[in-house]
Amino acid sequence: MKFFGQKKRKANIDPNEIFLDSSNLPNFDVNQFEGRIEKSISKYTVFFLGALFFGLQGIYLWKVAGLQIGQGDVMKARAENNRLEHSLVFANRGIIYDRNKVPLAWNILPQEKADWEEAKVKEGEALNDFPLRQYIASPGFGHLLGYLSYPAKDSSGFYYKKEYEGKGGVEKAYNDMLNGTQGLKIQEVDSLSKIHSESVIEPPVAGKDVTLTVDSRLQKELYKVISETANQVGFRAGSGVLMNVETGEILALTSFPEYEPQILTDGKDKATIARYQLDPKTPFLDRAVSGLYTPGSIVKPYMAIAALTEKVISPEKKILSTGSISIANPYFPDKPTVFKDWKAHGWVDMRDAIAVSSDVYFYEVGGGYLNEQKGLGIERIEKYMKMFGFGSPTGVDLEREADGMIPSPEWKKKNFDGADWLLGDTYHTSIGQYGFQVSPLQAVRAVSSIATDGALVTPHVLQSTTVSKNIIPIPKENFVIAGEGMRRGVLYGVALALNTKSVNIAAKTGTAELGVKKDFVNSWITGFFPYEHPKYAFAIVMEHGPVHNLIGASYVMRQMVDWMAIYTPEYFK
């Protein structure tokens, strides 16, 4: 008996058995492998395989011939489609016009701009395929118009920035309106990137044109007079605004120094751009909109209106100005605090106090004086100054408008380590000093409210049929009295420089002292014309000039009035 796991012995095989011819083996199974390896391949098999190979080759050749000859055009078209590229069709940016349809910013094709094309050829670059921006060549429009940043390509030629981008002024404020919508086209391009044909599949939609309220003639001249006066006398800078008192339409809005929109938009003059950036006079600051200045005496008409409204004083009551007033010092009784007037004016009523700009009169009206005259006090001063739009933006349709500042006890505590508010602080605030800060736009808006008996309009540079205004809740007669004081100022007071036969003007000057030594001043002039039926208001400030100089903002406005009488007399009618 055999057990599991035992190996069964196999008999040895004789090698001769392996090589025995199959014919010698009885009962040989012809289906076994040993018999087939020596059988030769049939000639029918060879013929069959050869015919099969030749047939397949014929089918291949027939197919190739059909593709190249019979369907060659179709295949060529398919190949062409593989070389079609999509690209942008740039829309024309809207044109910017002045109120008289004079173009201020428009578009030209790259090949039309010879200097641009020449520069690109020298640099080995292809011309841009979007319209280029061109600006009016006259100075004075830099901050008003702003400038552009163009669409931009990457190193592979694809636009990663597909839109124009306004970088200031009207270009930025109305960028969406001016931009339009880009289109799309298909281009047939060969292996050398040469364009053989193109087809627009989505046409571009041009941007909307913009018409401004600005008169380019006034804009040019105002900038010219401001810049020439600053350079002649030694003012560091200046700005000015002319505005329609009824609608808020801005006729001129300029700031000196400025940048050239063309230089910044083209971006080629690196030296000039670098000079702009390093200039201590800050040509990128739009002083008319974003500049803040100590107003000085231009606030006195509003103090007068506030005092009348609060019945602090009657317009006929006179106050004596001997050149100063003194207030007892509680800490040093033998050393009273003296508040000076800029000169002794004698007895002055409200109208004359505005006309001659008496500091003593407004010290007493603003802060009170002993038991002789009660004052508004700083809380009511702040309240009324806010009513005239000081301390907050005007709402002009331009970017980066400044807020301004009206001094108050809270402001002093915050900025002077918790210091208490003193009577002297009220006195200085009453004449537009101390921490008072206003912009030229705020000044022109406020003086317009006097011209219109209390209508506070919203300034704007885009032509529109909509007029936005607030009515200040103050009796009309109080505005009339302030306006009469300003008219007297032109007839025989501090604004005598504007006493011209061309047009009757009401105006108020202001001189704000600067620095610890008070060696420099800001010179202001604000007002409106024609006096009898006011249509336009103005505000001009000349920044940081020598204190003893007699030429300032009044001189600038007089030059402007004389020029307008000859070249734009329609504004005086």
Residue with tokens 């008496």: 358
Helix (H, G, I), strand (E, B) or coil at 383: helix
Note whether residue 33 is domain-resident: no
Note whether residue 264 is domain-resident: yes
Count Cβ atoms within 10 A of the Cβ of residue 57 and give its class: 0-12 exposed, 13-18 middle, 19 or more buried: exposed
pLDDT at 127: 60
Give, for 79, the enclosing helix (H) or strand (E). Answer: helix 72-81
> Rounded to whole angstroms, how far apart are CA atoms 149 and 165?
5
What do you get for the CA distance between the two ends of the chain, in Å? Answer: 144
Give the tens place of pLDDT for each residue, 191-235. 566 666 667 778 889 999 999 999 999 999 999 999 999 999 999
User: Looking at the 3D structure of the chain, how many domains does it have?
Assistant: 2
222, 241 contact by CB (below 8 A): no
User: Does residue 30 surpass a pLDDT of 60?
Assistant: no
User: Does residue 168 surpass a pLDDT of 50?
Assistant: yes
What is the CATH number for 267? 3.40.710.10
Note whether residue 74 is domain-resident: no
Residues 265 and 321 in one domain: yes
Residue 10 or residue 102, greater confidence: 102
Note whether residue 565 is domain-resident: yes
Q: Which of 211, 235, 262 is the last residue of a domain?
A: 211
What is the CATH number for 118? 3.90.1310.10
User: Does residue 59 surpass a pLDDT of 90?
Assistant: no
User: Does residue 121 surpass a pLDDT of 70?
Assistant: no
Residues 322 and 463 in one domain: yes
User: Does residue 464 surpass a pLDDT of 60?
Assistant: yes
Cβ-count burial 64-93 (b if 16+ within 10 Å, e if not): eeeeeeeeeeeeeeeeeeeeeeebbbbbbb
> Rounded to whole angstroms, how far apart are CA atoms 96 and 462?
10
Mean residue pLDDT across the chain: 88
Note whether residue 39 is domain-resident: no
Q: Which amino acid is at 134?
A: Q
Residues 469 and 439 in one domain: yes
Residues 440 and 300 in one domain: yes
- pTM equals 0.82
Note whether residue 144 is domain-resident: yes
Residues 435 and 462 in one domain: yes
User: Does residue 540 surpass a pLDDT of 70?
Assistant: yes
Residues 268 and 192 in one domain: no
Note whether residue 389 is domain-resident: yes
Q: Which of 181, 211, 241 is the last residue of a domain?
A: 211
Residues 230 and 185 in one domain: no
529, 536 contact by CB (below 8 A): yes
Count Cβ atoms within 10 A of the Cβ of residue 103 and give its class: 0-12 exposed, 13-18 middle, 19 or more buried: middle
Q: Which amino acid is at 467?
A: V
Residues 288 and 384 in one domain: yes
Residues 223 and 155 in one domain: no
Residues 294 and 206 in one domain: no
Return the minimum-mean-pLDDT range out of 36-45, 147-156, 379-388. Answer: 36-45
Structural domain of residue 519, as residue ranges? 216-572
Average pLDDT over residues 396-422: 95
List the structure tokens of 319: 């106050």
Give the relative orientation of helices 216-233 and 553-567 as an angle to the nearest 10 degrees.
140
Residues 403 and 499 in one domain: yes
pLDDT at 340: 94
Give the tens place of pLDDT for each residue, 432-460. 999 999 999 999 999 999 999 999 999 99
Residue with tokens 């300034």: 459
Residues 171 and 297 in one domain: no
DSSP calls for 431-478: TT-TT-BB-HHHHHHHHHHHHTTSEEEPPBSB--S---EEE--S-HHH
Residue 197 or residue 138, greater confidence: 138
> Rounded to whole angstroms, how far apart are CA atoms 565 and 119?
45
Q: Which amino acid is at 541?
A: V
Give the tens place of pLDDT for each residue, 475-512. 999 999 999 999 999 999 999 999 999 999 999 999 98
Average pLDDT over residues 322-336: 87
Note whether residue 325 is domain-resident: yes
368: left (phi over 0), alpha (psi -120 to 50) or beta: left
Residue 540's CB is within 10 A of a number of other CB atoms, namely: 30
Q: Read off the pLDDT band of 5 (50, 70, 90).
A: very low
pLDDT at 184: 86
Please state whether beta strands 210-211 and 96-97 pair in parallel, antiparallel, or not at all (unpaired): parallel
Closest alpha carbon to 104 in 200, 196, 217: 217
Closest alpha carbon to 478 in 345, 319, 273, 309: 309
Q: Which of 174, 190, 211 is the last residue of a domain?
A: 211
Residue with tokens 């289109």: 183
